[in-house]
Amino acid sequence: MALVFRSTTSEMVQIVVRDSDGSQRVATLERDPYNPRRWRGSVDHPSGARYSVDTFDPDAIAALGKLSDALVSRESDYAQSKGRGHRREPSMRDANVRVDDIGNDVNATVKGYER
How confident is the model at residue 13, as a pLDDT? 87
How confident is the model at residue 109, as a pLDDT? 65
Question: Of 97, 95, 93, which is closest to residue 106 (Cα–Cα)?
Answer: 97
d(CA 60, CA 47): 28
How confident is the model at residue 11, as a pLDDT? 85
% the chain with pLDDT above 90: 18
Residue pLDDT, tens place only, 55-94: 888 888 888 888 889 889 998 888 888 888 888 877 777 7
